[in-house]
Structure 1
Amino acid sequence: MFNSRWILRAGLVLASLLSSALTWAAPPILVLNSLSASVSIIDPVTYTEIKRVPVGKEPHHIYMTPDGKSALVANATGNTITFIDPKTGDIQRTLADMVDPYHLRFSPDMKWFVTAANRLNHVDIYKWQAKGSGFEPVLAKRIPTGKTPSHLAINTTSTVVYASLQDSDELMAVDLATQKPLWVVPVGKTPADIFLTSDDKNILVALTGGTGVQVYDVSNGPAKLVKTIQTGDGAHAFRSQGDKRHLFVSNRSANTISRIDLQTMTVVDTYKTPAGPDCMEVLADGKTLLVTARWAGKLAVIDLEKKVVVKTVAVGKSPHGVWTLNYASRS
Structure 2
Amino acid sequence: MRTSKAARLLAAGAALTALTLLSACDSGSDQHPEKEARASEAPLQPQVNRARVDVLPGMPPVEDPADIYSADRPGRLSPAVQGFPSRVYVPNTNSNTVTVIDPKAYKVIDTIPVGHQPQHVVPSWDLKTLWVNNDLGNSLTPIDPRTGKAGKPVDVHDPYNLYFTPDGKYAVVMASMDRQLVFRDAHTMKVVKAVPVSCYGVNHADFSVDGRYFIVSCEFSGEVLKVDTAKMKVIRQEKLPFHGAMPQDVKISPDGKRFYIADMMADGMWILDGDKFTRPTFLATGKGAHGLYISRDSREMYISNRGEGTISVFDFAQNRLTKKWRLPGGGSPDMGGVSADGKVLWLSGRYNSEVYAIDTRTGTQLARIKVGSGPHGLAVYPQPGRYSLGHTGIFR
| TM-score relative to the length of structure 1 | 0.85
Give 1:25 deviation, angstroms.
9.3
Q: Which residue of 1 aligns with 2:195?
A: 143
Unaligned runs of 5+ in 2: 1-82, 386-394
Match of 1:176 in 2: 229
Q: Say how many residue pairs are matched.
A: 299
**C-alpha distance in 2 between matches for 1:25 and 1:86:** 6
How far did residue 111 of structure 1 move? 1.6
Q: Distance in 1 between matches of 2:119 and 2:96?
A: 9
For the Cα contact (< 8 Å) 1:114–1:123, is it kept in 2? Answer: yes
Contact persistence 1:59–1:76 (CA under 8 A): yes
CA contact (8 A) 1:27 1:87 kept: no
Identity of matched residues, % = 28
Distance 1:199 1:107, change over 3 A: farther
Q: Does 1:89 align with 2:143?
A: no
Aligned partners of 1:41 and 1:290: how far apart in 2?
Answer: 13
The reply to whether residue 58 of structure 1 matches residue 113 of structure 2 is no
Post-superposition shift, 1:77? 0.8
- Cα distance 1:147–1:114, how it changes in 2: closer, same or farther (>3 A)? same
- Structure 1 runs not aligned, ≥5 long: 1-23, 129-134
Once the 2 structures are TM-superposed, how far is the Cα of residue 250 of structure 1 from its aligned partner?
0.7
Aligned to 1:14: none
Tell me which residue corresponds to 1:297.
353
2:128 counterpart letter in structure 1: K
1:181-192 alignment runs, 5 A limit: 181-187=234-240, 188=242, 189-192=245-248
2:97 is equivalent to residue 38 of structure 1: yes
Question: How far did 1:264 drift?
Answer: 2.9
* Number of the residue aligned with 1:269: 323
Structure 1 residues 34-82: Cα deviation after superposition (integer angstroms, max 9, x where no partner): 1111100111221111111111111111221233221111111111011
Amino acid at match of 2:103: P
Separation (CA, whole Å) in 1 of partners of 2:84 and 2:325:
28
Deviations 1:265-295 (A, max 9, x none): 3111211134211012111121111111111
Residue 125 (structure 1) aligned with residue 183 (structure 2): yes
CA separation in 2, counterparts of 1:265 and 1:142? Answer: 38
Q: In the alignment, what sits opposite 2:21?
A: none
**Shift of residue 205 of structure 1?**
0.9
Matched, 1:228 2:282: yes
Q: Select which of 98, 116, 139 maps to 2:174.
A: 116
Q: 3-state DSSP class of the match of 1:143?
A: strand
Could you tell me how far apart the structure 2 residues matched to 1:138 and 1:245 are? 39
Higher strand fraction: Structure 1 or Structure 2? 1
Question: What's the counterpart of residue 101 of structure 1?
Answer: 159
In the alignment, which of 344, 351, 365 is matched to residue 288 of structure 1?
Answer: 344
Q: Distance in 2 between matches of 1:61 and 1:207?
A: 19
Alpha-carbon distance in 2 for matches of 1:25, 1:186: 42
Query: RMSD of the TM alignment (CA)?
Result: 1.8
> Scaled by the length of structure 2, what TM-score is found?
0.72
Deviation for aligned residue 1:103: 1.1
Kept after mapping to 2: 8 A contact 1:173/1:184: yes
Counterpart AA for 1:69? K
Question: How far 1:113 moved relative to its partner?
Answer: 1.2
* Mapped partners of 2:358, 2:84: distance in 1: 20
1:206 aligns to 2:262 (yes or no): yes
Within the alignment, does 1:239 sit opposite 2:293 as a pair? yes
Q: CA deviation at 1:87?
A: 2.9
CA–CA separation in structure 1 for the residues paired with 2:368 and 2:147 = 21
For the residues of structure 2 that align with 1:27 and 1:92, how far apart are their CA atoms? 19
